[in-house]
Amino acid sequence: MKPLNMRKNSSPGFLFSFCGLDGCGKTTMLTRLLNDLKGDREVFLTKQPTNAVRTSEIFRNYMDYPNHESYDYRSLSLLAASDRLQHGSKVIEPQLQMGKVVLCDRYFYSCLANLLARGFPKDRWIYEIAESVVKPDVAFFFDVPVEMAVKRVRSRPDEKDRYIDMKLQYRLREAYIDIAKQNGGVIISTERSEDECYKIVKKEVERVMKHEH
């Protein structure tokens, strides 16, 4: 694996991304930051991939069922990557140009993590696409043991019976940690208390926002 050569954010706005396993606590941290920033700056909350991909047949097959024989995972990865490129160019970047703080639930890093975890470490196209993607001012990666993450997911009433590929979760966790280290991400263990984790998030955000682009 090599670092993603993303474009530097030269807009007046700031971009913060939140990645990690389902159940890692990223949404909790994102929501707290959103509430903290309200009133001080204009904030734009968004997520990737968009609903156009999330509701697609191929995406739902990989998320909801164990049998993937009818699909090539590269097809889903390319679909998600193109969606993220479109979303970044036509949604995120205009908001940044208006000087807003953009908080993104998952980001392009998740594309790479899934590609690696599903057995495609030699694919190079994803690095080429990354060159057209704006690099977050801070990329947060929330880390938690797989068992704890799954327990949190299962505690949600609408996801208590959700299909989860456990072997994949272990590989994803490793991929996220490696990607964070390669790309200057901030790794936060959410085995700590919520307040301890958020203190780190807020400190990093304040450090970056002291200096306008």
pLDDT digits over 65-120, tens only? 888 888 889 999 999 999 999 999 999 999 999 999 999 999 999 999 999 999 99
Let me know if residue 23 belongs to a domain. Answer: yes
With b meaning 16 or more CB within 10 Å and e meaning fewer, what string describes 24-35? bbbebbbebbee
Q: Flag residues of the chain having pLDDT under 70.
A: none
Instruction: Give the model's pLDDT for residue 8.
Output: 96
Query: 181 lies in which domain range?
Result: 14-209
Is residue 85 within 8 A of residue 131, CB to CB? The reply is: no
CATH number at residue 42: 3.40.50.300
Instruction: Give the model's pLDDT for residue 64.
Output: 80
Written as six digits, the tokens of 102 are 């953009």
CA distances from residue 190 to 16, 99, 130, 132 in whole angstroms, order as listed: 18, 30, 28, 31
For 115, the enclosing helix (H) or strand (E) is: helix 108-117
Domains contained in the chain, number: 1
Let me know if residue 7 belongs to a domain. Answer: no
Instruction: Give the model's pLDDT for residue 146.
Output: 96
Which of 100, 88, 86, 101 lies closest to 16, judged by CA? Answer: 101
- Residues paired with 38 in a beta bridge: 41
Let me know if residue 9 belongs to a domain. Answer: no
Let me know if residue 2 belongs to a domain. Answer: no
Written as six digits, the tokens of 98 are 């208006």
CA distances from residue 165 to 30, 78, 135 in whole angstroms, order as listed: 25, 21, 30
Let me know if residue 41 belongs to a domain. Answer: yes
Q: Is the pTM of this model over 0.85?
A: yes
CA distance 96 to 103: 11
Instruction: Give the model's pLDDT for residue 176.
Output: 98
Let me know if residue 36 belongs to a domain. Answer: yes
Let me know if residue 8 belongs to a domain. Answer: no
Let me know if residue 113 belongs to a domain. Answer: yes
